[in-house]
Structure 1
Amino acid sequence: MARAATTRNPLVIAATALVVVAAAAAGWGGWERYDAAHDDAASYAQARDAALAAGEQAVQNMNTLDHRTLEEGLDSWEESTTGDLHRQLVEGRDAFAKQIEAAKTVSTAKVLSGAVTELDERAGRAGVMVALRVTVTAPKGDPAVKESRMLGTLTRTPEGWKLSALGQAPVGSTAG
């Protein structure tokens, strides 16, 4: 008789129902988390975000140089690049350093916005477009400020994404 009383007790029935609902919710939540962690879209988004962050930083580095800290700036250029672009920078470093030392200029860049234009994870290549504001200060005169858009090609290396090509984005309309 005591057994019949406990199985019909509304508190026992409610507690059992809550346990079943909690177990089902935990199972569903675990499955959703597993599914999201193994989703190709999430992996692609992470790769895209990593490429964009590296691309923006590399383009900013390539547009920032101070004659007073020239060696560090040129080292930053080399650390941001790979492939032919890296080779060109290394080979032209001495001549470029002499030009900057003679001009005594300071250029600083600020990224305004950026976007990944293409991403091929398998090939380890990505394209970025970065809008930036570059301020060039010469020893005499007012600083010159220019806004521009740069197109960069990134290559994935063991150290991460690095610039393998950089150029000015075309300006103007292609319509008409």
Structure 2
Amino acid sequence: MAAALAAAWTGWSWYGAAHDDDAAFARTRDTVLAAGEQAVQNMNTLDHNDLDHGLAVWESSTTGDLHTQLVQGRADFEKQVQQAQTVSTAKVLSGAVTELDARTGKASVMIALRITVAAPKAQPSVKESRLLGELTRTPAGWKLSALGEAPMGDSAAAPTPTVPQS
């Protein structure tokens, strides 16, 4: 009898945990973070030798106005990248979901990246960057709908004036 009660309690507990709103929210948050990290990494990775594929990945990672901007500016951007002959790669250092409204399908993330850009006849340049992204839930999953630089340092501090040298 005790074994049957223990089994029933375990089954009920498992069912409750699997259908808990907090657990569902945590799963959504994890899904959003993974999608955000991948999309931001995609948007900072591009090889001039495989430009069509790279830009297709950019477009498949985005939605809304950001997607429209990429599609409309693609031809000009292709020319710029081909002329520069650059290869950029990005590695996600860390990420966090800063806002999530699962009901409306909107989320925000902050992603820290290390971006390496290599150009012919030049040493690769490495830069660490923090980016803020907005994601929107689509039928194909969470997609990046906006992307920009995160403010760095103390934005409340007044800029240090520069004195022209004569």
> TM-score, normalising length from structure 2?
0.93
Structure 2 Cα separation of the partners of residues 115 and 134 of structure 1: 18
1:56 to 28, 33, 37: 37
1:122 to 78, 81, 103: 103
Give runs of aligned pairs for residues 1-176 of structure 1, distance below 5 A.
Answer: 20-174=1-155
RMSD of Structure 2 on Structure 1 (CA): 0.9
**Greater helix content:** 1
Q: Which runs of 5+ in 1 are unaligned?
A: 1-19
Q: Which runs of 4+ in 1 moved over 4 A?
A: none
Aligned length: 157
The percentage of counterpart residues that share the same residue type is: 69
Structure 2 Cα separation of the partners of residues 43 and 63 of structure 1: 30
Cα shift readout 1:24-81 (whole Å, capped 9, x = no counterpart): 1011101101110110001000100000000000000000000000000000000000
Query: What amino acid does structure 2 have at the position aligned with 1:168?
Result: E
* Secondary structure of residue in 1 paired with 2:73: helix
Deviation for aligned residue 1:173: 2.2
Q: Which runs of 5+ in 2 are unaligned?
A: 158-166
Cα shift readout 1:85-115 (whole Å, capped 9, x = no counterpart): 0000000000000000000000000000100
Structure 2 Cα separation of the partners of residues 80 and 94 of structure 1: 18
